[in-house]
């Protein structure tokens, strides 16, 4: 079990490395500005995730336009595995929710 914020950070870093503000912006885009964590909550989580070996500092910079001074984070192997496990767990739960008519049936293209 990981917290929703941990999961959201894992999701954000799954596609690209990001710095602290980048993570916040992405979360805002995904779930709306009001659900973004405060800076305090973010760094509390980043600190814990680094301790637990889910993320680490990245030395590569995604693009030249990005701020070189900022510290970027990337997923570790373990972080990626945790994200996968949590996604599978949530997907299973969503399937249950769908069966119980809590969610509309999936409409695939």
Partner 1 sequence: MRLTEWLLGAVLRLAPRWFTDRYGDEFLDTHRARADQAARSGPVAAARLSVRELAGGLWAIARLRAGVPQEFRFALRVLWRKPGYAASCIAVLALGIGANTAIFSAVNAFFFRPLPFADAQRLVMLYETNPEFGWTGGLAAPANVLDWREQVGAFADVAMYTEFLNRVTYVRDGEPALFGAASVSGNFFSVLGARAALGRTFTWEETWQGRDAVVVLSHDLWATYFGADPAIVGRTLQIGIQNLEVVGVMAPGFTFPNDETQLWQPLGWAQENRREVWFRRAHWVRPIARLAPGVTRQEADARLQAVVGRLQVDYPQTNRVMGAGMMPLRSFLIREVRKPLLILLGAVGLLLLLACANVANLSLVRAAERSQEMAVRQALGAGPVRVARLVLTESLVMAVLGGVVGLGLGWTGVRAAAELTSLGITGATSLALDARVVGFSLVVAVASGILFGLVPALRPAGAGLHGTLSEGGRGGSPGAASHRTAGTLVAIEVALALLLAVGAGLMLRSFWLTRQVDPGFRRDGVLAVQFTVPSSRYQERDNVLAFYDRLAETLEARQEIERAGVIGQLPLTGTSWSSVFQARGWPPERVGHEILHRRADRGYFEALDIPLVRGRLFDPSDRPDGPFVVLINETFARDHFPGEDPVGQRIAYDRAATDSSTWYEIIGIVGDQHQVSPSLPPRAEVFENRNQDWRRTNWVVIRTRAEPASELPLVRSLLRELDPLIPIAQARTLQDVWRDSMAREQFVLTLLSVFGGVALLLAAVGVYGVAAQAARQRTREIGIRVALGAAGSDVIRLMLRRSLGMVGLGLGTGLAAALVGSRVLSTVLYGVAPHDPVTLAATVTLLAAAAGLACYLPAWRATRMDPVRTLRES
Binding region for partner 1 (CB under 8 A): 19-21, 24, 37-44, 46-47, 70-71
Neighbours of 55 (CB within 10 A): 24
Contact (CB, 8 A) for 56 and 72: no
> Please, which residue, 48 or 80, has the CB nearer to partner 1?
48
Contact (CB, 8 A) for 49 and 55: yes
Instruction: For the CB of residue 22, give the shortest distance to partner 1 in the complex, in Å.
Output: 9
> Please, which residue, 9 or 42, has the CB nearer to partner 1?
42
Instruction: For the CB of residue 79, give the shortest distance to partner 1 in the complex, in Å.
Output: 18
> Please, which residue, 30 or 39, has the CB nearer to partner 1?
39
């Amino acid at each position: 079990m990981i917290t929703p914020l941990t999961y959201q950070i894992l999701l954000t870093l799954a596609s690209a490395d990001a710095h602290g503000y980048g993570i916040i912006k992405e979360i805002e885009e995904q779930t709306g500005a009001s659900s973004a964590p405060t800076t305090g909550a973010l760094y509390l989580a980043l600190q814990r995730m680094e301790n637990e070996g889910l993320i680490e500092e990245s030395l590569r910079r995604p693009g030249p336009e990005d701020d070189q001074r900022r510290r970027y984070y990337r997923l570790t192997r373990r972080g990626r595995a945790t994200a996968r496990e949590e996604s599978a767990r949530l997907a299973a739960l969503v399937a249950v929710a769908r069966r119980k008519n809590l969610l509309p049936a999936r409409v695939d293209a």
